Amino acid sequence: MATKGFVSRSARAERQDDKSRKGSVDLPIRDLVSDINSYGRETVFTTSSCSGRVSLVSELTKGKRTKGDAKWVLMSHEPIGGDEIVQAIEKYLAEADTSLQTLTLRFEPFILAMECAQLEVASALLKVGRDAGFRESGIQIGKRITLSIRCSIRLELPVCKNGRQLVTKEYIHELAELCDEKFDENFQRIDRFHRLLKPKLEKLCATRRDSESRHEGGGTRALVAQRRDAKALKDLLKAKKWLNQSIRPAAEGGKIAFPVTSDFEDASVEELKKALGIDLELITLDEVEDSNKAVSPYEVLRRKVRDSVPAEIAEELLVDLPRKWERLGDALLVPKNSLVHEFWRDPERSRSLWPMVARTLNCKKIGRQREVQDNEIRESSAELLWPREGADGWVKHLENGIFYSFDFTKCMFSSGNGTEKLRVAGFPCKDEVVLDMFAGIGYFTLPYLVKAGAKHLYACEWNPVAVSALKKNLRLNGCEDRCTVLEGNCAAKAPVGVAHRVNLGLIPDSSLAWDAAVRSLVPEGGWLHVHTNCGSSKEEIDEAVEKMRTRFVELARESGREDAKVELGHVEKVKSYAPKVLHVVVDLLLR
């Protein structure tokens, strides 16, 4: 049980006070930190964090260095281009007294520090961190139990020393690309950690609540071990006077539960595990019959289905159950090859089973994924499986602090684009007008408005169902007054000469609207963020990007921008679209 001091410190963390130098939580990990501090509360809370950053840091070349002496010349929590780094170096050399200074380019990955109420909590979360790729994570035990989640994908290289630049501009551009690759890997690991962490936090919190409930109710607790380990556990419990010999041990399947005395502390479970080198579980005696319970929702579902249907069809249905799914608001979408047995289509036979599946998987609607329709508006083909009557596919989904409401049977929603939405949320759009072509339900429109703070946004969309959802989402997120919705063909509806930034979010190809995108930019030019599919090798990506850049130069000059130049800012690898095919976003700056 958490101490009063822990609870007090946890409350401060929930208000997002952060002990890092910045003093606040970085945008890319704000939802992750919020989840930890809301799920955990009396179990775990964060103390400091950094989402990962690239920086130029100036320090004394010789002599004793202190933390306060270091100065940031440039710092970003998102990828930046080589040109920006070169400009920062040139400005540093021109304006500062650098005769005794060393300027270092650094990439530092995600790091997260947490305080845990108990050692078993820290151990469980340590495993999650290492499974997500943060191999250098560790626990420190002192007056408090602290856990650090970190990894080694770092880069540190001096670029200037004593007023002299050590490397060429070309090499700096190579370093910038290397930092971009490290950002990609960093955010992928953060995403894996977040996905693995949520169910673990839920389980830990449930365990804590159950433990407190047992203590308050005076229930008898027991340690469960495999039969082969039973004698060693019993002997050690007796030696430590923790074995409650007034109650008989209980057996179930291949496990035995030994009752423990009232002075046995939950934290001692880890001590016994390490001493014996075995797996143990602390339960109450009335849970013994369920001590072999499944450790995942899938396994729980298998057991319940097996117990609920006639034996002659049980095995067929078990093969038919989903092992994974996508959660959208209160709906759960299973893969296209799941729940296809004729049993599920029979209203009478499956009447009682559907509600059981929904309760087990903690959802109110169940749908099945299908291929996105291969048409210009890329409609969803997902189907609503349950409930059959009086329900529709509308959901209200929260992602990165933004609400998306839509009918999943008519509008597609790709959770795999989450990292790109986070990147968009960090763009400096406060004084910018943005054009979002192929806006859909607001996948990128909303991050531009809600998070990036765009002054105004024009959203073009030709699917009337998506337009309806888009308008609803603008109201839902309180930003409809800063958005003009243009319904119809993007190439025909896009405004001319107003945008500082254009988002072209259609894959596999958005080239039908490239000419309109160029014409929509203000006279001085602006950014084009072009989504596309291409081969996954570096050579294939480079070839596709150069072909795209060249075509935009041609379009710009055809539109009257005779001296137009188009520079590559960044290539963002979003996700795998198919075997050896990547979904990427190409950032181009048209001047």
Q: Which pTM does this prediction carry?
A: 0.54
On average, the pLDDT of the chain sits at 86
Of 65-74, 157-166, 261-270, 529-538, give the lowest mean pLDDT range. Answer: 65-74
Asked if 556 contacts 591 with a C-beta cutoff of 8 angstroms, the reply is no
Same domain (yes/no): 429, 559? yes
Q: Among 234, 260, 287, give the residue marking a domain's end.
A: 287
Same domain (yes/no): 20, 146? yes
Same domain (yes/no): 487, 553? yes
Q: Tell me, yes or no, whether 398 lies in a domain.
A: no
What residues contact 411, with CB distance under 8 A and at least 6 apart?
379, 380, 440, 441, 463, 465, 466, 469
Domain assignment of residue 159, given as a range: 4-209
Euclidean distance between the first and the last CA atom of the chain, given in angstroms as a whole number: 61
Percentage of the chain exceeding pLDDT 70: 89
451-507 confidence digits (pLDDT tens): 999 999 999 999 999 999 999 999 999 999 999 999 999 999 999 999 999 999 999
Q: Tell me, yes or no, whether 292 lies in a domain.
A: no
Asked if 501 contacts 432 with a C-beta cutoff of 8 angstroms, the reply is yes
Same domain (yes/no): 430, 537? yes
Looking at residue 534, its pLDDT comes to: 95
Total residue count of the chain as it appears in this document:
591
Q: Among 287, 307, 332, give the residue marking a domain's end.
A: 287
Distance, in Å, from the CA atom of 528 to the CA atom of 517, rounded to the nearest integer, reads 8
Between residues 201 and 535, the one the model is more confident about = 535
Same domain (yes/no): 119, 171? yes
Looking at residue 377, its pLDDT comes to: 59
> Which CATH number does the domain housing residue 266 bear?
3.30.70.2580
Percentage of the chain exceeding pLDDT 90: 45
Same domain (yes/no): 333, 446? no
Asked if 39 contacts 202 with a C-beta cutoff of 8 angstroms, the reply is yes
Our count of domains for the chain comes to 4
Same domain (yes/no): 332, 224? no
Looking at residue 262, its pLDDT comes to: 74
Distance, in Å, from the CA atom of 137 to the CA atom of 447, rounded to the nearest integer, reads 32
DSSP-derived pairing of the beta strands 456-461 and 483-487? parallel
Q: Among 391, 416, 439, give the residue marking a domain's end.
A: 391
Q: Tell me, yes or no, whether 170 lies in a domain.
A: yes
Looking at residue 288, its pLDDT comes to: 40
pLDDT band at 217 (very low <50, low <70, confident <90, very high): very low
Mean pLDDT to the nearest integer, 261-266: 80
Distance, in Å, from the CA atom of 335 to the CA atom of 399, rounded to the nearest integer, reads 21
Looking at residue 417, its pLDDT comes to: 85
Mean pLDDT to the nearest integer, 139-151: 86
> Which CATH number does the domain housing residue 332 bear?
3.30.300.110
Q: Tell me, yes or no, whether 214 lies in a domain.
A: no
Same domain (yes/no): 16, 94? yes
What residues contact 204, with CB distance under 8 A and at least 6 apart?
40, 43, 44, 121, 124, 125
Distance, in Å, from the CA atom of 252 to the CA atom of 254, rounded to the nearest integer, reads 6
Same domain (yes/no): 424, 505? yes
Judge whether residue 576 has pLDDT over 70: yes
Q: Tell me, yes or no, whether 98 lies in a domain.
A: yes
Q: Tell me, yes or no, whether 239 lies in a domain.
A: yes
> Which CATH number does the domain housing residue 124 bear?
3.30.1960.10
Q: Tell me, yes or no, whether 402 lies in a domain.
A: no
Residue 428: both structure tokens together: 């400096």
Mean pLDDT to the nearest integer, 63-78: 76
Same domain (yes/no): 61, 176? yes
DSSP-derived pairing of the beta strands 433-437 and 383-386? unpaired
Q: Tell me, yes or no, whether 332 lies in a domain.
A: yes
Same domain (yes/no): 198, 320? no
Same domain (yes/no): 462, 431? yes
284-315 confidence digits (pLDDT tens): 764 443 433 334 788 888 888 988 888 888 88
> Which CATH number does the domain housing residue 558 bear?
3.40.50.150
381-426 confidence digits (pLDDT tens): 899 999 988 899 999 998 878 899 999 999 988 877 888 998 999 9
Residue whose pair of structure tokens reads 């609920």 in the numeric block: 308
Between residues 45 and 406, the one the model is more confident about = 406
